[in-house]
Chains A and B, each alone.
Chain A
Amino acid sequence: MEAYQIRALSFAYPLREKLALKNINLIVKQGEFVTICGKSGSGKSTLLRHLKTVLTPHGTKEGEIYFYGRPLAESGRRAQAARIGFVLQSPDNQIVTDKVWHELAFGLESLGFDNKTIRLRVAEMASFFGIQTWFGKDVAELSGGQKQLLNLASIMAMQASILVLDEPTSQLDPIAAEDFLGTVKKINRELGTTIIMTEHRLEGVLPMSDRVVVMDEGEIIVHDTPRRAGEQLKEMNHDIFLAMPSPMQIYAGVDSTLPCPVTVQEGRQWLDDLPIDNKALREAPGAQCRREPALRTEAGVPPVIQLQEVWFKYARDLPDAVKDLSLEVERGQLYCIVGGNGTGKTTALSIVGGILKPYRGRVRISGRDLRKMSGQERAANQPALLPQNPQLLFVKKTVELDLYEMLAGKQLSKEEKEQKVGDVCALAELEGLLQMHPYDLSGGEQQRAALAKVLLLEPQILLLDEPTKGLDGHFKSKLAGLLKKLAALDVTVLMVSHDIEFCARYADVCALFFDGGIITQNTPRAFFSGNSFYTTAANRMARHIFPAAVTIEDVIEACRNNL
């Protein structure tokens, strides 16, 4: 049975020449798990929104969408509300009411069920999702991951037969994301619900998908099983590969006739099957880096950021958020702190930024104690902090006004200001976006605009909190390029991140944060090849053959050298 049948669908937003969707033909069968991927702006969300009439954007549309054999528009609002469930990106914005039980009942109230039926449905769903323990809670008490699960549960309570998810995990940390995707898979497997989702974190999703749809510029370029999609993309040599799981990227970089691996496990098998002569194994690139000498670059110069045995807690009765933290960052370094959720990484960053004051220990910026600086000195030396959500920094109607706002209090001539804004725009590649409203930019563009804003302060130290959150592969590599440019300008960057792949590739130093302090730090290669679990997918896949290969490029190069 075909749940959806899309025939020659084209769509353009009002006042735009360019088509957002071009001649889309797609059939989704009942019970299938379909993942749609593509760069941001490739039309994924637009396509998803066409699957439910109330969410369809305004514009000129051609083509037909059939829902169980009948035109979608013919099935009424009530039927669509119940049968097509839609989960959006932000866990917070989708929640309407203040109590978990009320939220679970919200959709059923709209459909006009009586108290008894709602009670049963809500109870069923709460038990299925294992959320009965927070049934009576306020939604404000829930974590981001729990909120997104609640959104899913409240839609499933309406007994949806189709679940459409628009990047549901982009705001979640990796563990919560995995949890969420696990639940989605459970719904697909145990209830037979059809799943159509877009996602940029493909490592977890692709192995569970039946089919992958790859979109580019509003068109479907590949539509097949994950394995075959990988093979087709390899032939096309498309840059969408940046978003694919590591085993597929490695597969694409190495000549072989073997089938495309999707998971790390398959990747290991694939590597074993490659004709690599284990005895004659030449040293993989970077193997010597294990013996890389000290991290210090210049002797005698004090580190730019120095924390000595710093302790911090939010209130007297609360446990310590940061415990005995010592840290040194040299000028011009890109220093990455990785680690799980709630270990105190963000707190540590706020301490360095001077927003939180430790109750024990010292924080030195360029060799000077932060506490002993005068107000002016502090303002001059203060590290600039880019928050997790770049939107928090935007205050004006356009990006340009926002950038000039940063210079408002300064004694500069008009030309100087223009010069500075121009420089920073060139650095952050904001040309063409200056007249837009900051909220209308995509995630990656917002990130760059916020970064540009922060850079106008001309900070010597830049603190970044999860800068890659919600960015696709394309924007990540742009961000990395920007960070490299800053390093060349001698700006020191300290960032905290969940994104192991990104840190392994671009950091100068990586440190593992756990239980309020730094457990170990080293150059990325030595750091990740020394870990067994907490390491990149590429390393997990290849460590039995190339223990020192950490990034995808490392593994590809090692394979090529040894084939």
Chain B
Amino acid sequence: MKDVFSTLHPVVTFTYFTAVLLFSMCFMHPVCLTVSLLCSFLYSVLLRGKKAIRFNLLYLLPLLLFMAVINPAFNHAGVTILFYLKNGNPVTLESILYGIAAAGMFGAVVLWFSCYNAVMTSDKFIYLFGRLIPALSLILSMALRFVPRYKAQIQVISIAQQGIGRDVSNGNILERARNGLQILSMMTTWALENAIETADSMKSRGYGLPGRTSFSIFRFDRRDKAVFGAMLLLMAAILTGAAAGFNTMRFFPSLKLLPPNAFSLGVYCAYLALGSLPVIIDTAEELKWKRIKSEL
């Protein structure tokens, strides 16, 4: 299924990811962590399908388990001692729970970043920062063109050199290093030589004239406004909860959680709503599509 959330205006998506990433890093309350982990997992699966499930279960899960286990082995703070290790160090309940929480936080951040990468493509990033510094957007755009181009050219050069028996895979280490360096030096010459024509092409198209503008294909429409507004409201609610201390917990020296009340429940619901916002938008769109189709 095609992701609808990523078609929103870059300002909206960027603000969203900044918020959820910051919240996931700061809020160590078990409910917040669970919500964040769950939402990020769901969205990553929605974005990347089977591949995400495989990655999450095969690589991320073992890593998190390892992190959770390793923490109490080295961290001996906390007052509730469960038992002693062979070297005489205590294993505490607090350090075990902190390990689990830290692993959960780490997992959520990784998952959100994977979603961020899928949604915030280079052109959106350029657009955002081009707004702040117009010259930067062109530089970024040019850099993004040159990096893959240079990589491809290195490939082409090394194949061409292989064709005359000179390559990094031929000969002993010394020869290989020399051939590798030579390819690098050729790349430099090539890049400088070709940059002349690029510069001509830029000059010829008026680059350097005063009053340059920055074109973009994005438009902040009514849907963007609605989503952005909802997002800001939810974030405000969550931040009030954070100010009241509901979003985090104390691990050391002893565990301490504020008792839940109606207000804190509301804050957690807002957090859940924010976290699952992309999933909600996608599902709503899917349902709408189905309804329209069935009406035809």
Contacts and interface: CB of A to CB of B under 8 A. Distances in A.
B277 to A, nearest CB: 25
A110 B206 contact: yes
B212 A463 contact: no
Contacts of A52: 204
Contacts of B214: 109
B160 A110 contact: no
B230 to A, nearest CB: 27
A102 B164 contact: no
Nearest to B219: A115
A115 B206 contact: no
B243 interface: no
B182 interface: yes
A115 B216 contact: yes
A387 B163 contact: yes
A54 B194 contact: no
B145 A82 contact: no
A457 B181 CA distance: 21
Contacts, number: 150
Contacts of B197: 88-90, 93-94
Among A93, A105, A394, residue most surrounded by chain B Cβ atoms (within 10 Å): A93
Contacts of A453: 164
Contacts of B164: 384-385, 393, 406, 453-454, 457
Given A90-B194, A96-B201, A457-B164, A77 B209 contact: yes
A275 interface: no
A13 B208 CA distance: 26
A81 B156 contact: no
A107 interface: yes
Contact of A387 (B123, B138, B160, B205): B160
B203 A395 contact: no
Given A139-B145, A392-B157, A105 B205 contact: no
Contacts of A54: 203-204
B59 interface: no
A373 to B, nearest CB: 14
What is the interface of chain A mostly: helix, strand, loop, or mixed? helix
B165 A457 contact: yes
A350 B175 CA distance: 23
A215 interface: no
A382 to B, nearest CB: 6
B200 to A, nearest CB: 6
Nearest to A409: B175
Interface in A432-463: 439, 453-454, 457, 463
A139 B145 CA distance: 8
A556 interface: no
Contact of B149 (A92, A106, A115): A92
Contacts of A151: 201
A559 B212 CA distance: 63
A115 B163 contact: no
Contacts of B206: 77-78, 81-82, 107, 110-111, 158
Interface band, chain A: 35 or more
Nearest to B158: A392
Interface in A92-151: 92-99, 101-102, 105-115, 118-119, 122, 139-140, 151
Contact of A93 (B142, B165, B201, B213): B201
Contacts of A387: 156, 159-160, 163
Interface residues of B, number: 48
Contacts of A463: 163
A338 to B, nearest CB: 21
Contacts of B123: 98-99, 102
B18 interface: no
Contact of A392 (B141, B160, B203): B160
B276 interface: no
B215 A110 contact: no
B213 A96 contact: no
Interface string A390-403: 01111100000000
Contacts of A110: 205-209, 212
Contacts of A332: none
Interface in A339-361: 350, 353, 355
A86 B204 contact: yes
B219 to A, nearest CB: 9
Contacts of A154: 205
Interface stretch (B46-54, B94-102, B183-191): B183-191
Contacts of B182: 395
16 contacts: A52-B204, A78-B209, A88-B201, A98-B123, A107-B206, A108-B213, A114-B213, A118-B213, A119-B217, A151-B201, A353-B163, A384-B163, A387-B159, A392-B157, A394-B186, A395-B186
Q: 5 shortest A-B CB distances, which residue pairs? A: A81-B206, A385-B163, A110-B206, A392-B160, A93-B197
Interface of B: 122-123, 138, 141-142, 144-145, 148-149, 152, 156-157, 159-165, 175, 182, 185-186, 189-190, 193-195, 197-198, 200-217
Given A86-B200, A93-B197, A353-B163, 13 more contacts: A52-B204, A55-B200, A90-B194, A93-B194, A96-B198, A97-B138, A109-B214, A115-B213, A393-B164, A395-B182, A409-B175, A439-B189, A454-B164
